[in-house]
Every structure is written in C-alpha cells, then in structure tokens.
Structure 1
C-alpha cells in the first residue's frame, strides 16, 4: 500500500492537468523560443526526458518511443513491445559500460540503442533475460551515469550496470530520483530524509530528516561546498556540512505554489533552470534573482514541464506535457512577444529617464527599462505613433493626430501637425532648430524657455507627406516622399521658406520614384530607388553606388553605432561589424517600415509586427561546442528504401543500385542551416544553397565518387567516398572481350556487306531495267493515249464535217426542190412556150440530184466510218429497230435539230417529232432521259 501511494503521488506531480493559477501576464523580454508540437515530430505529446549525444543530436523519451532530432528531421524508434519510454541517457564516454550508446527505460524494460555501420539505431535489451522478478512490475523512470556504472531506477528498485552484468539494489521503502552530485549518489527515501548510495547500500545523510514530509524533485550542486535541494511543494534548501537550511529567495514562494518538477544547473555560471507543473520555466541566477520567466503567456506550448536539458550550444530544451520547446538562452536577441500583447505593431522606441517608451499602432506604452513589469499605456496618445525622439532631454512624439511632448506626469501638445515621421536637428546661427517631416510638408520647432515649441511651416514646400530628411554638407535637405518621390531643397537662413526646390525624376535622375529611402552611411548619403542604390556626386547629381555589397537579392541598409550597419532582407537581418564579421538575425521586420533603433550603446531595438526584439551588443557569445561539420545520416537505395549502405568511406555499392539518396544534417538548433554539395566524379560544381537535408542521384555510372557537403555555418566539409560496382559486362575484361567480338563482327559485317552489295547491285540493275521497261510501256501507253486523243479529235472533226455535208445535202435538196417547184409553176404559166422536152429534161436533172436512197447509203457508210459500229451496237441492243429509225438515231447522234432532220429524212418537222416519240417508246426511255445524250453514250 505504501508503494502504491508513493506511485500515485508521483503521478499527481507529473501528470497534473492544472495549467496554472489563472492568467499571469509575463511582460519580460525572452530569448528566441522554438516550438516543436506533436504535429512536427509526429509522436505522442508527452516527453518525459531529454538528452544530447556526442553527435549533438537531441533524444527525447516520448510516450510513443525514443525520438531523435538531428536539426532537420525527427525520427521515432518505438520500444519492441510499444511501451512508453520514460527515461533516456546518452553515453558517449569510453567506459567499461560501452560508448556511443543511448540508454532507455520503460515498463519492465531497459536497454540501449546503438548505431550500426549504416548509421541506423539498433536496440539491445539488457533486461530481457535478467532473473529479477521485480522487473515484471517495475517501470524505469530515471537513468543515471557515474564514471563506473549506469543506474536504471524505478521507485522501488535500482539496477546497476557495469557493462557486463546487472545488479539489483533494493531499499526498505520507496524512493524518489537518484542524483549524482559532487561525486556522491544521493536519493530521498519517501517519508524520510536524504540517503547516500555507497556500493549497494543506502546510508542516511544527517540533518535531512526535516525533508521527510517533502517530495524531493531535484538535487543539484550549488557551489563547491553546498548542495541545492528542490522539493515539489516545500521550497528550496541548501545543505552544507550536513546542515539543512532554507534558501530564502523572493521567488521561493512562487516556485512552491507552482510545484517544482525538474531543475538543472546551467553551465558557465548561468544559474539554474526550474521547470514547474503549473507555470512553465523559471531561470534564476546564482543569487536566486529571476532572469527569465517563460510560460504559455510568452509562447511556451504548455505550462507543465516534464524534462529539462541544456545542449552543448547553451540552448535549453524543455520536454512538456504537450510538445518540446527550445529556448536559445545564449542568443543576443530578446523578444517581447506575449499572449494578449497590448503593443501591437511597433514603429518607434526611445529610452528616457530610465524608462523604455514604445510607440505602436495602439499608442505609446512605457515601462521600466529591462524590467519584468507590465507596459503601461500613456493616456491621450492612443492611435498610430510614428516617431519618439529624445532631443535635448525632452521626449517628443510624432502622432497621427498631432505632435506631443511626453513628460513624467503626462503629455503636452506641441502643435496640430499630424503624422510627424521625423525630427531633424539643424544648427543655424548658433541656434538649434528641429525640422519635422509630416503628412503635410515641413515644419520648424525652436527652443523657447528651455522647451521645444512650434515655430512655423516652411513656405514653398508643397503639402507632401515627407517621411525622411537628411542634410548634406552644404546644408541642403534631401527629402523622401512617404510613397513616391525624391526632392532636394535649399532653405533660407531663417528656415522659413525655400530658396531652391528640385524634384528628381525617373528614369532621368533615378531608376524609380517608388520605394525611396535615404541613409547617411560611411560619410556619404545613399539613396535607394526601387531595387537600386545611388550616391550623391560632386556635381550635386546622383550616380550608382559603388561600395555596397553585390545584390544577390533585394535588401535595405540601416545604420548602427560604432560603424556597425545592417542589411535588411525579407526574412532576416544581417549585422555587419567594422571587422567584417556578419551576424545573421532571424527577424522579419515590418514591410516598408523596417525600423532599427539604437536605444543606447548596448541595445538595438527592432520593430516587429507583434511586439519588438532587442539585440544586446555586449553579450558574450556562446563558447560552447557547436556542430560545424555536417553529418551524413543515411545512404539509401532510392528504388528500395529498405536498403541502406555503410557510411564508412570506401563503401562498394552493388551493381544493380544506380540511384541513391544521401541524407545529412547539421545539429544546429534554432536557426536555419543551408547546405551545398557536390559529387566528385560526376560534377565539380557546388550546388545552390538549400535547406533540403537530402540529395538524390539517379543513373550513376560505375566508378569511384566522393560526395562533399558543407553548410552555411562554417567551411568545414564532410566527405563520403563510395564506388558503384560495375555489372560483369561493365568490367575491363568484359569490355576487352566486347571490343574483340566487335572487331570480329565488324569483319564479318564487311564480308557480308560485300556479298550483300553484289546481290543488291544485281537486284538494282534488274529493278532499273524493269523501271526502264515500265517507263517504255508508260511512254507507249502515253503515245497511244495521245493517238487516241488525236483520233477522237479527228472523229470529232469528221463528224462535224459529216454533219456539215448532211446539212449541205439538205440545203441542196431544199434548193433543188424550190427550183423544181418554181419550174413547175413556170411551166404552168408559160404553157407551150416552154418546150416540153426541155422542161422534162430539166425536171429529170433536178430529180436525179435530189438525195435519195443512194445518198443515205453513202451517208451511212461515212457515218459508220466515223462512229464505228454504232448501228451494230444499236441493232444488238434493239433488234426490232427499223432502217428509218436507224437514220433518225444517226441524226440524233450528230446532234441535228428537228428542222435539220426533216429534209434529211424526207419528212416534215411534225413527222420528225412523231418519229422521235416512237423511237423513245421503242427504246423504253424515261421521260427525264435526254434522247440525244443517250445516243451519244451508245
């Protein structure tokens, strides 16, 4: 029952669902925090322990198994039986227990994962065959390493492993976590004080009996003489010379209320980190003063901290009840980014009288500089703020509504000038003025009774929104329009009117009138126009800038202090120091209003869309060991992802594998890493920089290759040499045999081609002769066609001639008949005056010359000569046809008209029409068939 109660107590501590004591706003600036939710690492939300190995990979004991993170990819290694992994420890030292092992523990199981030559983890169980009956019910919650042993601990048993055998250690009761502090193994027995494990026995530590009611969550080394004891709900204690005293610090009650669950000592005297159940993380210095408080109010994923570890780069990792978070404690950047952020988007900031004033789209806010107190809004300054400037110990505010002076007791309106973007101090006749660029031109302020007061608007300046003002060596003013335009102005000595006003145009003076920016840098004035930079020339005109870094992507410049300057990109900021050192800051400033302010000699202020960031110029950079050389993770057959190859140099890849995927990583956390690679033997050209953590090669030829990899973090290069084995037919002997066989085949082919050429030549000659014969036949056929065409023409001519003859005969008969008729009439009229003998002689002569049967026979003979066998074909088709119908058909074939046919046939026109009708009936033609066309087609 006692054991059961202790386990229940433990679960109450570790799985407390309470997320806090209600909303607690945390306004303190925090270092960069990266959230890794379960959707990112694709495993259970609970993470019970964290550790880092020599390769600087992060390992997490997750409820789904062992999580590995190499900086690019998360990978899960489940327990063989799917148990929850409760503890993890990376052992990289060369001890008798082994090296390069990742020890894990869970319910009824503990052992280690170790990489094989292919870089993949393989599990070895240490508990599987142990003879301890307790293992069936024990769950390993803690793994501890000493110079000689590895300890696997549940809440009633300790299993000591020396690299060869496991020894079971039990106690008279249950206990909390075992800790190795100042060379001693310390543990609390539940309901009693602290004990020290010596050998296989536990010995009580005098003076710690008062810890009996408490639950000790952590035991840490406080300094060389003292030990810090953190309890879950009973506060903090120090042990010195077997004397237990409370560590009375202001934060102790708050830590007690929120239940301390984990605590670690931060390296390099950076203090202590406490993880609580109810309110996230607390970072304390060695004096117990609060340095950082991080919880859900400032982007921690969850307030229940289950695990803590510090990596070699000084980053703090927190295993949470819901996810894993990375806190970059050594980063020089601090962020104000809290839930319910009252500031909104920031545009201006200033330090004045020990306070930080921040201007945003929501107004002006103030708090004590570098304190954890809340921002307070300044009444009357709600709305858009563009500028906060400390001039002659007065804090001036350029607001959307007017221009104000901010005092310790409130605000005073200086003028009704709206949208004051900038104040430029100008010395004129040993007096200092302020020229203000605003929504409606330029305005002047002067000192009156030790206070800045509004003087006048400058005449001659158009009512333009002036966002930037820079004064050159001659006293002239360069002015940038808020949206479009660049101007140059010379003022009179009283600063009340313009002597010269010039507008620069594009493309004559500058490349574009949009996106104009003016910066004084390196004793020069630089102008940004579109994506180009210009500088002022001696003639007063502008010329392209020559001493800016080459533009690989668009950037803007901002000036700092002590000759420092910035290049602002869309997704980052680069800080350039006088020593040419470049510090990359992962910041995205407000688009088209990228503001970087030097608050004092130590801090830069970056305006962000949600809050702000601070950069500490004086913070010592982390000297912890960080990974600089990329690590090869896996070489895999691209066509069979289950096939891996050794990561040792000189690996021989089997011949069938010609496509590889090479995975790599650089365990640098919290900042982007860009890789470049090349494969010597394929190409000597480095690839473009990319964040992709793998590369694929396909259709690799057999041979030796060297893969080289470098990152954006350093010039250190990782190399991997391998050989693609050839197929048997790609070996030297196979190639020589192939050459020999090829030569033989070429000779055989030449001989074969000679024979084939002869056959082909004969065939070609035969084909040519056949073509000539066909050509000759074609020519003869063409001649015959031509002859036929000529014959057809001749027939047509003769047919026309025959038709003409028939017509002439008809005309002749008509004339003779007319003469006969006339002669008969003359005979009748003259009577005996015309002798009968002469009359009869003339009449007989006329009758003889009128065409008769002989003329038709002659006509038929000529017709048959022209139209061969027409009558024969017609008689064959129609055997009952009569001679008179044949004559009619002949006339129709000659296309004679009815009138022309009548004399030829010796009948009237009416008789011709009757004969045509009868012929059509005999031939059986339809009424729509043309009789003439029918005769022509026979």
Structure 2
C-alpha cells in the first residue's frame, strides 16, 4: 500500500520539480533574425573553427559569423545545407542535398567549395540529404538516409544502411549510428557492429548519444525521453525532467563541462540539466526571450555562450556573463528604481510596485542590523553578512540543480537564486527608493512613504509623493514632492511625519553634513544648504553658478567617505565653508575628471560607483592602472539601459551589484567581471580595394593561418578594411585600434568602430594592423594584412628606365647641343676674336696706314724737303753752272778781245773752270741725296745699266725730277741741242722703244726692282 502510494505521489513530485527552475538573474539573449543574416529561417547545424568564426548550416547555404558581420555562401547546387563541421587544415565540411564537400579559403581569404561527390564510386552517387558530419580518427563520415560515406585521403568509401540510417554521432567511447532495423551500431574500423538492437525493437528515434559512467551510454530520443544503454539493454533514465523532456521532444543534446547537459527540444526551447541527477537547472524558451522554441542544434562556444540554431533564427545565450537581467514580473519588462537585500529577501522597486523573492536559507522575517553590510573587494567566496544579522549560507540548501559557471553550487552570487518573485501587497504604483532604518525597510513611493511589513506595505505618509529617506540619529528625514518631512522612531514604531517649514521645493536628493545641516539639490534650481532644528527649518541658502557651480541645473548632492559632494555636468565639486563657494573636489575631481556625473555611491571597500553619460562605472581603489593607485572601469554593456534621470546603483557586495534599468534590474557580479580573461582575439574580416571598379582582396578566412601578400595596380588608391573580434568570451564590448604602416604615424585611438577607410594612398608598401581591447584593458595581438600598390605606369621601373634613357639622351642631346653651342660660341668667339683681331689689325692697319700716311706725309715732306733741297742744290748748281758758264763765256769773249792775250795765265783759269764743271764731289752728294729721296733710283738704274756714264746718270736724274731741257742743259753745261743728243744716246743705251716716254721707262725700271717700293 505504501509502495502504491509512493508510486502515486512520485509522479506528482517529479512533475512539480520538473518545472524549469528559473533563476533570479537571467543571462541576456542576443537575437539574430533572418533579416540580419540574410538567409533562410531554418538553421540546422552549427560549429566553430579555431579562429573563432562560427558556421551555420542554413536553408540558403553556409552562414558565417565573425562576431560582427554575417556572410552567406550558397551551396553550388543551390540546395539546402543540412550539416556543417569545422575540420582540420582549415576545411569546413558541409552536407547538402545530393552533394557534400568542403569549403577552404583560397589565397585571397575567400571560401571556395570543393565537392567530394566525384570521389564516390560510380553507381553510388545518388543520395538525398546529408544530415550528419562526424570526424573520427582521421576519417570524415557523412550520413544520408541510405548511405554513410567515409572520406579519407581523397577516397570515399560507402556503407549502405541495413534499413535506414537515422543518426550518426560520436562520444568519448566511439562512433555510433542508428539503423531502423538493427538499432544502435558502433563503428569498429572495418564496419558497423550492432550494440543496441532494443532501440529498433522499441522503434526509438535516437537524437544524441552521450557517455555515462560504468560503460553506459545515455540515449536521447525524439519522443520517448532519455534511456541508458548498458550491456545491450535499455533502461529508462528516470529524472525529474523526464516527462517534460518527453513531451517537449528532444532534437539534440550534448555534454557541457563536467556537470551539465544541454538539451534542445522541438517545443520547449533549451534545457540545462544536472548531469548526475538529470534535474533541470534552467530552461530557456519564448518566455525567457528566445525567438523560437524549436531548437535544431546547440553549440556552446569557448566563452560558455550557448548558440541555438532555431527553426526561425539564431540565438545566443550569454550564460556565463557577469551581467544578468532580473525581471521581477515575468510577463512584462518593468523599469526598476531601487533594490535592497533585507531579512534574507531581495526587494526590487519598479514602476509597478515592489517585488520580493526569498533567498536561500531564509528563516523568515527578523531584525536587521547594519543596513550597508557588504564585503570589501577581494573577499572571494567568503560568507556574506546579511542585514538581518545572520549569514546567507552557501550551497544548494538541499535543492538539486543549483549551478554556477564554475561548476560548484554557490549562492554567494544571488543571481543564481531561484526566481520566486512576488509583488508586495499594497505597493502598486511607482516605487522611487528603498531604505533601512531602525531595523525597518522603508519605501519611497509615488503615493507616499511606506514601511514594508511581513504581509504588505504599510503607509507612513500619504497625500504626497516621497522621493527618499535620510536616516539620522533621532529622526528620519523624507525628501518629498513638496518639501522636507521629518519622522521620529521609537521601539520600531514611527511617529507621524511632520512638515519642515519654509522650504517647499521638490527634494529628490538629500545628504547630511551633520544632524542639523542638510544639503539638498533641485535639478533646475541649484543646491540648498538647510539648517534645521528638530522639527522646523531655521534657514536655508541657495547656491547656484554664482557660487562656483558650473551650472544652475543638474546638480546632485551625495555623501562620499563622510564628505558632502556635488555631482555636476563638469565633474565633482565640494563646498568651501571659508569662502562660501564651490570648487572642484581636490580628491575626486582628478579621479573622474570634468565629465558629467548623475549618480554616486560607495561600497564598504571604498570603491566609488557612479553613472556618467548613461553608463555605470566604478573607481576601484584596490586595483592599480599604470601609475595610478586606482582603476576606473565602465560597463559598456549597460550604456543607455539605465533609467535616465533616476539612476540608481546598489552595491550589496562584490558579487552582487544591482543597477536600475529601463527593462528590469541589472545584476553585476563584479568579482567575476574583473577576473582576468583570455587574451582577446582580433581578425581582419574583409579588405576591399576601391578604384573604377571595387575588388575584394581578402575575404576574412585565413589560408594556413596567414593571408597572402597582395600587389595591386596603381588604379586602386582607396581601401576599405573591416575587422572584428570573435563573439565568444568578451561580451562583444570590444574596442579597436588600427594603424596603416607606411601611412599612419601612430596607432589610432581606441574605438568600437569595426571598419576603416583610406583614400588616395600613394604607391608603396603598406601593412594594415588592428588590435582589440576588452573592458579590462587586455589587448590582443595585432592582426595584419600587407599589400603593395604599384606605381602608375609613368612611375614603373620600365618607365623609370625609359625616363633614365630619355634623361641620358636628353643629357646627351643637351651635351651635344651644349657642345655645339660651345663650338658655335667658340666659333663665334673665334670669329669675334678674328673680328677683334681683324678689327685690331684693321685698326692697327689703319693706325699703320695712318702711321704710314704720317710717315708718307713725313716722307713726302722729307722728299719735298729733299726735292726742295735737291731743287735748291740743282738750282744752285744750275746757277753756279750758269754763272760759271757765263763767267767762262765772258772770259772767253774777253780773251778774244785781248790781243795778244797771254795764253798761259788764262789757260790755267780755263782749266779751273773745266775742273769746276767736272767736279764730282757735288755730283756724289747730289746722287746720295737723290737716292734717299727716290728709293735708290740711281743705284738701281746703275745696277741694271752699268754702262751708263755719269752724264747719263745725271740726265736720268734730271729727267726723273722733270727738269726741262733748258734746265738740264744749264745743269750739264751743254746746249739744248746737246741735251737732245744726250737723250737720244740714253734711249739707245737703255734700249727704250720709241713710243715709250723715257720718263715712264725710267720709273718702270726702278719700280720693277726687288725690294723697291714704287714712289711717285
């Protein structure tokens, strides 16, 4: 009876436990629709290569994803792709309809398909879809419904199905196939050996075979759940999830780590199971954010992200992320404004009320202690104190399936608590804040102030909205819509809230300098300094930009490390009580800089959490960055996701940081977030050259791990580079820095952009390099792509050779021209010199002529003078001769008259006359002077005619000087007749022709003599 009762109750218990445990923190789910990847809706298979590139078998072909961009490669026969597997040597094996083969990157990084169908033996080449691809011991197996093909070393062997091949898979124990007739078979090297005929007997459709301890296999079936196969026999694997999985219809399953199983179903999405117990750890379906509940393939990447190939789309679950999302209401995404851990319960204030979920080890309501009890950074897995005074125990508290990514059950990270949120009664509406004071949890609400009781929210103040609470020693101040309220507390009870008079502004930010001095801020007024008594306002002062604040707007007061600070749009400011003005904070302003700050808070470890430009961050004073004793870290995953204007961060401890968001509460496990990760990777996904026609240079897939060097013509001067970091491991929050060596002088600034364009690059060698950096500052090795732009034709070596030849020819021509010019110049110079010489000679000649003329004139003058002298001498001689002749004649006449004249005395006198007439001394002197004047006339004449007598010579001289016959007769002392006779005799001696004047003949004879110049 007891056994029957147990059998009756057990299914009920299992059904209750089998309901998927949803955790408090849900990992984000990224959706990739067919519109994004430009393919078909159905995706059948998935795998990843060593570079981190994902491959999906899609209805439209092979899909690739590098973490940033998708590419679609249709199958050459344009059929559906059913399976894909990344193999060795860069090959990506693909199975389609009536074809299978592999993709391999060519030298340009573009995947090219090679069909293996021609290797199939003749007569075996007809088959349908290839559903599974399994590499095993150096052989790649391809399964169709009627044949399994084994490809090895360019040969294909065919294994025919005994009935129908329904599955091909492998586990750590071997390679398995299911046949419709023989059940489960194992490959032995020579063929297939049946090991589970019961599979065929029960008509099971096996979808996965996994290893199990003690030589047992786990068989996942499509409609019948999970079985154990041991010794050829089947045993149902009874787990709390068995019935749910049977109804959901298992389509795929795989091991995940050492303690989990991933199961994909046709109707209920993805299950995560405890490998030992089979209990459901978590389920992901439409309700948890998936696009579709039908999972065709599950693929976990090295970063523990879960990729799901769906019937309509592709999803990625960031399961191991340090940032998760909390949805208090599963049916709607509510904006959240506050969070608090109180009495072993987690409270979250939303736009639709207050929600609460119990935490593990909950012992019910109790008294709270320290309202800000948290661990300092670095406490690791130590037990965290709870506000109620007791520890939150680690462990699963007796519940199966508790899980964390490290593989150990641990509730220190509250996101792994079971999600059992419920709405607190009487809390509906806008919740603004949560605060703990006097062991009570208070709620600031749009409708007033409330205390959170065990069953419901109890109103403390109604009629006006309340922003926040400021607990003090003897009272609690409340910032309300219409001013400041005060409320006393005694023995766990609160007095009636009373208005603090005078200031009636909306006060959403409050902090205390001391109990009697309160600072408040109004977003559009400025900062108030309020001096209060117990119940009344004594005075207040408004500080604005006139008092040192950067602006009158957007100033928020906070208390950090016991000091009042103001977060502004230009950094953190503090009040100087001496000058009564504000100035940049001397210790916080240098840390955060002049950036807009909207929220500040601190944890017990002294770290400062803040919100700036819609992005949360933390200043971690326990980690150094360079020479700074602190590190500033942002959370780009949450940028733009927090509630603008109502920013809130609740740092409970290192593993539980709660951030208010527009769609739920965000949970940060900061201890995990800051843990060192593997060095990020980066890849160049595409390179395009742009010219008159664009050209794809590199397709993103590295052949043998390296891209080839590319040489391009000069027509390509523009280049487009795309780069990415693989999607696993770093949450997609990567920044990149690039450099084009040969063009960029230095690396670029870090930015999230994943592409870069260059235009008008000159010819030369270039290397494009890119690095990736994750949120922790880890920098990847650089990915590079080298190329060369050839110079234009007019700058090629041939052209340069031609230019050199032309230059040499030009130089030679110039040389020749210069030489010719030089020769011409030389000739011209020579001519000029000759001209100058000629001119000089001419001038010299002229001068000589002038000199000759002068000399001639002088000679002429001399001749004239000589002639005059000669004439004078001749006249003198003539006169003397005449005188002597007259004297002689007179003497002779006188002698004749004297009779008898004594002869002897007169004879002596006559002899003297004869001697005087014949005196040669006068003739010699005359002839000498005559030759000087007339160019040796007498000497030349004597030389030519030596027979001439003195008288003949005298006659020639007298003829030369043109003396008349009478004058000649007187000079010779003869008669005129005698002169004629002498002339006649002279003609005969000289042999002068009769028709030639004797004067002309004499001139001709003397002129013809050598070395004698003619003289007129």
TM-score w.r.t. the length of structure 1 is 0.71
* TM-fit CA distance, 1:58: 0.7
> What is the aligned partner in structure 2 of residue 724 from structure 1?
789
Asked if 1:394 corresponds to 2:440, the answer is yes
Asked if 1:122 corresponds to 2:122, the answer is no
Equivalent in 496, 508, 511 of residue 470 of structure 1: 511
SS of equivalent to 1:507: helix
Q: Where in structure 2 are the equivalents of 1:478-497 lying within 5 Å?
A: 478-492=519-533, 495-497=534-536
SS of equivalent to 1:40: helix
CA 1:187–1:377: 2 relative to 1, 3 Å: same
* TM-fit CA distance, 1:345: 1.6
Consecutive unaligned residues in structure 2, runs of 5 or more: 1-18, 360-414, 624-630, 822-1016
> What is the aligned partner in structure 2 of residue 565 from structure 1?
608
Q: Point out the structure with max Rg over C-alpha.
A: 2
> What is the aligned partner in structure 2 of residue 918 from structure 1?
none
> What is the aligned partner in structure 1 of residue 274 from structure 2?
285
Deviates more, 1:67-76 or 1:155-164: 155-164
> What is the aligned partner in structure 2 of residue 10 from structure 1?
none
Asked if 1:408 corresponds to 2:454, the answer is yes
* TM-fit CA distance, 1:165: 0.9
CA 1:611–1:456: 2 relative to 1, 3 Å: same
> What is the aligned partner in structure 1 of residue 499 from structure 2?
457
CA 1:114–1:216: 2 relative to 1, 3 Å: same
Deviation string, structure 1 residues 9-66 (Cα, Å, up to 9, x no partner)? xxxxxxxxxxxxxx99978532111101011001111110000001101110000000
Asked if 1:614 corresponds to 2:667, the answer is yes
Q: Is the Cα contact below 8 Å between 2:424 and 2:455 reproduced in 1?
A: no
Q: Where in structure 2 are the equivalents of 1:829-868 lying within 5 Å?
A: none
* TM-fit CA distance, 1:279: 1.6
Asked if 1:542 corresponds to 2:582, the answer is yes
Asked if 1:377 corresponds to 2:401, the answer is no
* TM-fit CA distance, 1:373: 4.7
> What is the aligned partner in structure 1 of residue 264 from structure 2?
275
Equivalent in 553, 567, 571 of residue 528 of structure 1: 567
Asked if 1:605 corresponds to 2:658, the answer is yes
Q: CA RMSD in A?
A: 3.4
Deviates more, 1:39-48 or 1:631-640: 631-640
Q: Is the Cα contact below 8 Å between 2:509 and 2:522 reproduced in 1?
A: yes
Deviates more, 1:714-723 or 1:49-58: 714-723
SS of equivalent to 1:176: strand
Deviation string, structure 1 residues 787-837 (Cα, Å, up to 9, x no partner)? xxxxxxxxxxxxxxxxxxxxxxxxxxxxxxxxxxxxxxxxxxxxxxxxxxx
CA 1:516–1:149: 2 relative to 1, 3 Å: same
The whole-number CA distance in structure 2 between the counterparts of 1:576 and 1:550 is 8
Q: Where in structure 2 are the equivalents of 1:210-249 lying within 5 Å?
A: 212-222=202-212, 226-239=216-229, 244-249=234-239
* TM-fit CA distance, 1:555: 4.7
Q: Is the Cα contact below 8 Å between 2:61 and 2:81 reproduced in 1?
A: yes
The whole-number CA distance in structure 2 between the counterparts of 1:622 and 1:209 is 47
Asked if 1:260 corresponds to 2:232, the answer is no
> What is the aligned partner in structure 2 of residue 593 from structure 1?
646
Q: Is the Cα contact below 8 Å between 1:118 and 1:634 reproduced in 2?
A: no
* TM-fit CA distance, 1:242: 5.7
The whole-number CA distance in structure 2 between the counterparts of 1:322 and 1:26 is 24
> What is the aligned partner in structure 1 of residue 864 from structure 2?
none
Equivalent in 463, 470, 476 of residue 434 of structure 1: 476
> What is the aligned partner in structure 1 of residue 826 from structure 2?
none
CA 1:695–1:618: 2 relative to 1, 3 Å: closer
Equivalent in 725, 734, 737 of residue 666 of structure 1: 725
TM-score w.r.t. the length of structure 2 is 0.65
Q: Is the Cα contact below 8 Å between 1:190 and 1:212 reproduced in 2?
A: no
The whole-number CA distance in structure 1 between the counterparts of 2:673 and 2:213 is 23
Equivalent in 69, 75, 91 of residue 79 of structure 1: 75
* TM-fit CA distance, 1:581: 6.8
* TM-fit CA distance, 1:397: 1.4
* TM-fit CA distance, 1:688: 4.5
* TM-fit CA distance, 1:592: 0.9
> What is the aligned partner in structure 2 of residue 62 from structure 1?
58
The whole-number CA distance in structure 2 between the counterparts of 1:239 and 1:624 is 40
* TM-fit CA distance, 1:72: 1.8
Deviation string, structure 1 residues 511-538 (Cα, Å, up to 9, x no partner)? 1121122233355433122344212346
Q: Is the Cα contact below 8 Å between 2:83 and 2:130 reproduced in 1?
A: yes
CA 1:192–1:388: 2 relative to 1, 3 Å: farther
Equivalent in 708, 712, 716 of residue 769 of structure 2: 708
CA 1:276–1:524: 2 relative to 1, 3 Å: same
Q: Is the Cα contact below 8 Å between 1:313 and 1:626 reproduced in 2?
A: no
SS of equivalent to 2:545: coil
The whole-number CA distance in structure 2 between the counterparts of 1:359 and 1:128 is 66
SS of equivalent to 1:454: coil
Equivalent in 324, 331, 339 of residue 321 of structure 2: 331
CA 1:584–1:444: 2 relative to 1, 3 Å: same
> What is the aligned partner in structure 2 of residue 655 from structure 1?
714
> What is the aligned partner in structure 2 of residue 795 from structure 1?
none
The whole-number CA distance in structure 2 between the counterparts of 1:659 and 1:384 is 56
> What is the aligned partner in structure 1 of residue 759 from structure 2?
698
CA 1:83–1:743: 2 relative to 1, 3 Å: same
* TM-fit CA distance, 1:306: 0.9
Equivalent in 743, 764, 786 of residue 682 of structure 1: 743
CA 1:745–1:28: 2 relative to 1, 3 Å: farther
CA 1:425–1:550: 2 relative to 1, 3 Å: closer
CA 1:342–1:114: 2 relative to 1, 3 Å: closer
Deviation string, structure 1 residues 493-522 (Cα, Å, up to 9, x no partner)? xx2223442210213331112112223335
SS of equivalent to 1:66: strand
* TM-fit CA distance, 1:743: 6.5
Deviates more, 1:694-703 or 1:579-588: 579-588
The whole-number CA distance in structure 2 between the counterparts of 1:234 and 1:625 is 41
SS of equivalent to 1:466: coil
Deviates more, 1:514-523 or 1:105-114: 514-523
* TM-fit CA distance, 1:325: 0.7
CA 1:77–1:569: 2 relative to 1, 3 Å: farther
Deviation string, structure 1 residues 58-89 (Cα, Å, up to 9, x no partner)? 11000000011111211111111101000000
SS of equivalent to 1:676: strand
CA 1:224–1:54: 2 relative to 1, 3 Å: farther
Equivalent in 141, 160, 178 of residue 131 of structure 2: 141
> What is the aligned partner in structure 1 of residue 556 from structure 2?
517
Deviates more, 1:537-546 or 1:381-390: 537-546
The whole-number CA distance in structure 1 between the counterparts of 2:694 and 2:49 is 26
The whole-number CA distance in structure 2 between the counterparts of 1:226 and 1:403 is 62
Deviates more, 1:696-705 or 1:365-374: 365-374
Deviation string, structure 1 residues 742-783 (Cα, Å, up to 9, x no partner)? 778999999999xxxxxxxxxxxxxxxxxxxxxxxxxxxxxx
Q: Is the Cα contact below 8 Å between 1:67 and 1:76 reproduced in 2?
A: yes
